[in-house]
Structure 1
Amino acid sequence: MQCVNLRRARLWRIPDQTAGSLPTILFVHGAWLGAWTFENFLGYFAERGVGCAAIDLRGHGGLVQDDVFLTSGQREMAEDVVEACQAIGGEVVVAGHSAGAAVAAIAASRFPTVGLVLLAPSPPGQLPGLEPQAPVPDGRPFAPGSIEHVKRKFVPNFSHEDVVDFAERLVHESPALLNDRRLLRVEIDRSRISGPALCLSAEKELGDFHKPGQDLATARFYDAEYWFLTGAGHCFSLEPHWRDAAFVIERWYGSHFLIP
C-alpha cells in the first residue's frame, strides 16, 4: 500500500491491476474516524483488481489538530479530498461515510469525479424536513463520548471488547465539522456533481441524526440508487457482515464501469 502525504491530509492507496483503465474508489471517513475505517473494503476491492484508496482527513489518523483543524468544516475538509483526487490521477469515484459523505459530495462538486457513493450519509443542509441540532462548543476538539454512546452510535453489533478497541482508535473532532451538520450550514450543489450515485443506509442508526426516511431522501436528492442494510450499524464497513455492503458497492461499480 502506498502512503502519500498531502498538505494537511494523508492518502493510503492500492493501485489497480488494470493499467489504470478503471476508476479508483477513494473512501472518505466520517467524524472521529480515519482511513482505518475502510481496511476491509480496501482489501476487498484490491483483491478484485480495482484501484482503491482511503484518506485521513486533516486532524485524523494521528495528524496534527491545530487551530486550522478547529475551524475546518465540510468545505475545508473537501479541499483534502480534492487534493487526494489530484494525487491519484485518472478517474475517481468518491465514497464518503457519514460526515465524510457530505465532504465527498462537496469535493465532487469541485472536481470532475465519475461517481459518488454515500455510506450512512450526512445530508445536504438544504434537504427538506431537517431540523437544526444543538451545536457543540467552538474552540476545542470534541470527544466522541462514553463507551456506551460509542457502541450505540457507531457499532451496535460489536461485543463490549470490540467496542473498547474501536473507541481507542477514535479521535477528538473539529467542532466546525460537527456544527456544519448540526446547524445545517452547508448546502450542496447537486448540479455540479457528475456521474452515477449510490446510497447505502444502515438500519441501526441513532434517531437524532438519521431520522426514518432521511437517508432515502438524501439518496433522492443525489438521484442515487438506494440500498437499506438490514441489521447494520452506522460503521457497517467494520461489522461482521461488512461484505454485504462491499458487494452492493461492487455490483453498482461493475454495472457502471466494467465492460460486460
Structure 2
Amino acid sequence: MKKSYTIEKVVLKPVQANKLPPILLVHGAWHAAWCWEVFAQALNQKGYEVHYFSLPGHGGTSLNKASLNDYSLNEYVAFLSDRIDEIQPAPIVIGHSMGGALLQIYLQNKKLPGAVLLASIPRYGTLSLIARIGMRYPRTLIKSILMYKSEVIVESAARSRELFYSADNPVDYRRTQKLLGPESMKILLQLMWYGTFKKIKHETPVYVIAGDRDKITSVPEQQQLAQYLNAKLTIIEGQAHCLMLEPKYKELINYVDKWVKNTVI
C-alpha cells in the first residue's frame, strides 16, 4: 500500500471580512510551521488571513522521497509555488532566511502582490553564512560536512540560541531547539553558489527587513540585497535572526502592516 503524504498547513481567518490581502509565511532551514505560531496569531489580529506551512520533511509534513537530502532547491520552490497557488486572491508572501531564498527564486519567473524578505539569505547565497558559522564553530561545521548532516549545526541548545536569538530574548530556547529538525544538505550546498539569485523580472514590490544583531546574515548583506532588488529596507535594532520569535515581533508586524497598506493595497 502506498504511504499517504501529509502536508502541515495552518489557516487563520480574520474575524470580519475585509479587503486586506492574505499573507503566506515561509519558514527557513531547520524550522517548521511552529516558528510562526505567535507571529501568525498577532498578524491575524490585525485583520489578515494568514497561511503558513511546513516544507517537506519538516514539522508535520512528510517526505515523499527516501531522504530529506534527496530534495533539490527547485523542488522546494515548486512546493512553495503549489502553496501559493492554493490561496485566492494571490497572497503577499513573507519568507524568512532560507524561505526568503525560495521566495527570491520564485519571483524570478512569477509575480506576487508583494514580498517580504525577513533576514533572508543574501544575494550571493550562503557561502558567507557558512563561513561565519565555520569561524564561530569550526569543529561543528566540519562534522556536519563529513557526516552530510545539517542538523549537527543546531543539535546544541546553546548554539541554536546563539545563532538565532538575541541575548535578552526570553524565549524557551531549549524547547525550540527540540523542535528544530534536519535540513537538506543538497539545498544548503546549492544555495552556496553565486548566480542562484537573479534579478526579479516582474514588478513585485519587495520589502527587506533584518535585525542588527543577526549572527547568520549581516546588515551590509541585507543593505546590498535591498539595493539589488530596489526594495524598501528596515533594520530593527537589538534583534537577531529569528525575527518572528524575537521580543520586537509586534514592531515587525507593524512595519509589515504599514508597508502593505501604503504599497500593496
The interval holding the TM-score normalised by the smaller chain is 0.7 to 0.9
Q: How far did residue 130 of structure 1 move?
A: 6.0
- State whether residues 8 and 57 of structure 1, in contact with CA within 8 Å, keep that contact through their aligned partners in structure 2: no
Task: Output one character per residue of 1:42-88: Cα deviation in whole Å (capped at 9) or x when no partner.
Answer: 11221122111112111111333543631324332111111011111
Q: How far did residue 154 of structure 1 move?
A: 0.5
- State whether residues 30 and 96 of structure 1, in contact with CA within 8 Å, keep that contact through their aligned partners in structure 2: yes
Q: Higher helix proportion, which one? A: 2
1:75 is matched with 74
Map residues 156-235 of structure 1 onto 2, 5 A cutoff: 156-157=166-167, 162-184=172-194, 186-192=196-202, 194-206=203-215, 209-235=216-242
Q: For 1:19 and 1:119, how far apart are their aligned partners in 2?
A: 27
Task: Output one character per residue of 1:83-124: Cα deviation in whole Å (capped at 9) or x when no partner.
Answer: 011111212111100111011122233433111100001023
2:137 is matched with none
TM-score by length of 1: 0.83
Task: Output one character per residue of 1:198-220: Cα deviation in whole Å (capped at 9) or x when no partner.
Answer: 111111122xx424400111111
Q: For 1:152 and 1:191, how far apart are their aligned partners in 2?
A: 37
Q: Higher strand proportion, which one? A: 1
Q: How far did residue 173 of structure 1 move?
A: 1.0
- State whether residues 117 and 199 of structure 1, in contact with CA within 8 Å, keep that contact through their aligned partners in structure 2: yes
Q: For 2:99 and 2:121, how far apart are their aligned partners in 1?
A: 8
Map residues 38-117 of structure 1 onto 2, 5 A cutoff: 38-65=36-63, 66-67=65-66, 69-117=68-116
Q: For 1:67 and 1:150, how far apart are their aligned partners in 2?
A: 27
Amino acid at match of 1:218: L
Look up the SS of the partner of 1:165 in the other structure.
helix
Does 1:150 pair with 2:160? yes
Task: Output one character per residue of 1:1-26: Cα deviation in whole Å (capped at 9) or x when no partner.
Answer: xxxxx977432112345657432111
Q: Between 68-77 and 115-124, report the one with greater CA deviation.
A: 68-77
TM-score by length of 2: 0.82
Q: For 1:36 and 1:235, how far apart are their aligned partners in 2?
A: 12
Amino acid at match of 2:241: H
Q: Between 163-172 and 142-151, report the one with greater CA deviation.
A: 142-151
Q: For 1:124 and 1:253, how far apart are their aligned partners in 2?
A: 24
Q: For 1:227 and 1:119, how far apart are their aligned partners in 2?
A: 10
Q: Between 78-87 and 161-170, report the one with greater CA deviation.
A: 161-170
- State whether residues 23 and 93 of structure 2, in contact with CA within 8 Å, keep that contact through their aligned partners in structure 1: yes
Q: For 1:126 and 1:10, how far apart are their aligned partners in 2?
A: 27
Unpaired segments ≥5 residues, structure 2: 135-140
- State whether residues 94 and 108 of structure 1, in contact with CA within 8 Å, keep that contact through their aligned partners in structure 2: no
Look up the SS of the partner of 1:182 in the other structure.
coil
Amino acid at match of 2:187: L
Cα separation, partners in 2 of 1:251 and 1:212, compared to 1, 3 Å:
closer
Task: Output one character per residue of 1:114-170: Cα deviation in whole Å (capped at 9) or x when no partner.
Answer: 11100001023379x969847853885421232221011101336687111110110
1:3 is matched with none
